[in-house]
Structure 1
Amino acid sequence: MVIKADAIRKSEGETMMRPQPSGAKQISVSEKRQITIPKRFYEKLGMTESLICELRGDEIVLRPAPTDADFSQEILKDLIQEGYEGEQLLKCFQKRKAQIRPAVESLITEADEVAQQFTGTGDEETESLFGDVRE
């Protein structure tokens, strides 16, 4: 979901609003800067109780926050294959499980930094990678 700053400066101190696209709905912002997302938008986008709020130029982008994936089975399989058992298995499991979230957050941060540095249209890169596939 994207919330865009739609006020257009008409003259000093006077603004007019851009016409809303079809399917759009005007919403109010409370004194506490709170908004209510219309139910049909919320349901259609499969939103959750937790959202990521991101500023992109003059737009606010809301998207569902990723749910924590549980890699417990995969971690346990790896540890068992590595020969851990008993108390040692439990300690290593807890340690590795605690490392997942920071690792994922680091990947997300790194991807965001790379995306922010990209300023091209991608045409040159796409052409060099795919060439005749684009025809």
Structure 2
Amino acid sequence: MNEKKKVKLSKQRQITIPKVYFDALQMQDEVTIELVESGLLIKPVHKLPEDFAEQLLESLVKKGLSGQELVEKFKEAKNNVGGIIGSSKR
């Protein structure tokens, strides 16, 4: 999807994200916004389930990992999801 849409800014500096973009990106209730050279970059924040860490740990244990190897693989997997585990708390 590479089409452009013009949206209005409210007096409070708010914009409405067109539904087609909102749905396509599976947005929830938060986004990140970043100032880039040519404008603003808005990305959805996808929250993980509350018990994500436990699910991840259980899957690693089922693979036969334990001890320090388990700890290292858990850290690696956690980092691969962008460190979102901590931000899934409300």
Aligned CA RMSD, in angstroms, stands at 3.3
The aligned counterpart of 2:83 is 104
Letter in 1 for 2:53: F
Within-5 A mapping of 1:1-135: 23-68=3-48, 70-75=52-57, 77=61, 104=83
Q: Measure, in 2, the Cα distance between the counterparts of 1:28 and 1:66.
A: 26
Shift of 1:74: 4.0
Structure 1 residue matching 2:23: 3-state secondary structure: helix
Q: Segments of 4+ in structure 1 off by > 6 A?
A: none
The aligned counterpart of 2:87 is none
Tell me the matched-pair count: 66
> Greater CA radius of gyration, 1 or 2?
1
Q: Measure, in 1, the Cα distance between the counterparts of 2:39 and 2:12.
A: 19
Q: Measure, in 2, the Cα distance between the counterparts of 1:57 and 1:32.
A: 24
Identity of aligned residues (%): 24
Structure 1 residue matching 2:83: 3-state secondary structure: helix
Q: Measure, in 1, the Cα distance between the counterparts of 2:35 and 2:48.
A: 23
Whichever structure has more strand as a proportion of its residues is: 1
Shift of 1:27: 0.7
Q: Give ranges in structure 1 of 5+ residues lacking alignment.
A: 1-21, 83-99, 106-135
Greater RCO (Cα-Cα under 8 Å, separation 6 or more): 2
Q: TM-score, normalised by structure 1?
A: 0.38
C-alpha contact (below 8 Å) 2:7/2:16 kept by paired residues: yes
Shift of 1:46: 1.8
